[in-house]
Amino acid sequence: MALNPIKAFGAGAVLAIAWAGSALAQTEPQDQTQAGTVVSNTISLTYDGADNDGDIVSITLDPPAPTTFTVARKIDLSVTAEQAGEELTVTPGQTAATTEFTLRNLGNPNVGGAAQDFNINVAVAGNIGNGTAPLTYSATATTTAGQYYVTVGGDVYDTEAGTPVALASGAESTIRIIANVPSGATDGLADLFTVTAIAMDSGVKVVESRSSDLDDLSVVFADAESTTVLTGQTNPIDPALNGEVVALTRLLVTAPQLSATKTAVVLDEGLPGSSFTCNSDDAATGTGLVAIPGACVEYTITVTNAAGATSPASNITIKDGIPGNTTHIRQFADDFDTATYDAGDNEVTATLSTLAADSSASFRIRVTVD
């Protein structure tokens, strides 16, 4: 009697599946299976049966036709702002202030091992340029105040031309924004730079295509949503699975906020009988005095760094020319480091090494009215 293969397939049967190709994608992009790879598998079936005389025989079925699928092209990328807190503080007049971003190709190797193209766009909004507008873009390297330029992989990159950057699977490239801050930029001015990387094919954005036929070459977006730690950014700045990513960095001007005042008071009118000496530490002799010839007038010059300033002021120098119709008598450094009189220029120069935010410093000058 012939054996029934169905009934005979039981405890003694062995089912083996033979695979061709990679079974699991690896963590590193360059170790993932290349797009277009055909993965093929089939089975072998062997089982034990019995003939009419009770002898055990082993039976092997012919394998069925292989089952195949084509590994899809995975489009995945990231752009990371390397500046801590996504904010770079700059000072007025600073040249070549540089912030960095890293572009990574996280997709699997392209068909035939070809590199993946990416376009990089840079947008800026803010007021560092002139107080009401952002820094302006230069397609070439520049040190001109009020302008910035972009490099990718160390080479100047023209973001307006949209030249693609080719990266192999797992490769990365450094994007730098190099800015020149105007000397007149004031405390608190800021520019927000937005860097967008887009996966490209032959000069156009990659289009996702999914096929129900596993033997077709599908193209699948796998990029994560883009987020930011900048204050006020609570929602994703770019959604997931769209073939592009976004990163932000803010340039923030930190500077002192200085203001100065100068006041005058008559210390003594110099009338007969007065014991006041203008070239001394004597205090004022009365109130309601007027500046008649011979009177001693004291100027007080005060410089203030505002409470809201983000940095101290340093190397402060104030020059005060002695006005006409008066004669210089004396100066007092007071809160300043030095206060000196130059008879040739007929002026007083006062210096102060540093002045913290929310602080004031003063010095005085005494003259007599001619």
Q: What is the pLDDT of residues 245-274, one digit of tens each?
A: 999 999 999 999 999 999 999 999 999 999
Q: How many Å is the Cα radius of gyration of the chain?
A: 39
Q: Indicate whether 102 and 183 sit together in one domain.
A: yes
The pLDDT tens digits for 325-365 are 999 999 999 999 999 999 999 999 999 999 999 999 999 99
Given 232, 253, 274, the domain boundary residue is 253
pLDDT band at 233 (very low <50, low <70, confident <90, very high): confident
Beta bridge partners of 150: 177
Tokens of 212: 């129900």
The reported pLDDT for the residue numbered 285 is: 85
Q: Indicate whether 229 and 279 sit together in one domain.
A: no
Tokens of 150: 């972009």
Q: What's the rounded mean pLDDT across residues 95-110?
A: 98
The reported pLDDT for the residue numbered 27 is: 52
Q: What's the rounded mean pLDDT across residues 124-138?
A: 98
Q: Indicate whether 354 and 216 sit together in one domain.
A: no
The reported pLDDT for the residue numbered 338 is: 98
The pLDDT tens digits for 293-334 are 999 999 999 999 999 999 999 999 999 999 999 999 999 999
Q: Indicate whether 198 and 318 sit together in one domain.
A: no
177: exposed, middle or buried (C-beta count within 10 Å: 0-12, 13-18, 19+)? buried
Q: Could you give phi then psi for residue 239, rounded to 5 degrees?
A: -75, 165
Q: Indicate whether 125 and 88 sit together in one domain.
A: yes
Q: What's the rounded mean pLDDT across residues 71-99?
A: 97
Q: Indicate whether 159 and 275 sit together in one domain.
A: no
Q: Indicate whether 246 and 262 sit together in one domain.
A: no
The pLDDT tens digits for 164-184 are 999 999 999 999 999 999 999
Given 43, 71, 99, the domain boundary residue is 71
Tokens of 64: 């069925």
The whole domain housing 246 covers: 74-253
The reported pLDDT for the residue numbered 58 is: 83
CA quadruple 206, 212, 216, 218: dihedral, nearest 10: 20
Q: Is the pTM of this model over 0.85?
A: no
The pLDDT tens digits for 5-62 are 333 334 455 544 444 433 343 458 889 999 999 999 999 888 887 776 777 878 888 8
Domain of 160, CATH number, reads 2.60.40.2550
Q: Indicate whether 83 and 228 sit together in one domain.
A: yes
Q: Indicate whether 45 and 174 sit together in one domain.
A: no
Given 229, 253, 277, the domain boundary residue is 253
Domain of 277, CATH number, reads 2.60.40.1170
The reported pLDDT for the residue numbered 92 is: 96
Which residues have CB under 8 Å from 188's CB, separation 6+? 252, 253, 308, 310
Which of the pair, 1 or 215, is modelled with greater confidence?
Answer: 215
Average pLDDT score, the chain: 91
pLDDT band at 72 (very low <50, low <70, confident <90, very high): very high
Count of Cβ atoms closer than 10 Å to residue 182 Cβ: 20
Q: What's the rounded mean pLDDT across residues 191-201?
A: 98
Q: What's the rounded mean pLDDT across residues 216-224?
A: 98
The reported pLDDT for the residue numbered 117 is: 98
Q: Indicate whether 204 and 337 sit together in one domain.
A: no
Q: What's the rounded mean pLDDT across residues 119-129?
A: 98
Q: Indicate whether 228 and 82 sit together in one domain.
A: yes
Total domains present in the chain: 3
Q: Indicate whether 209 and 342 sit together in one domain.
A: no
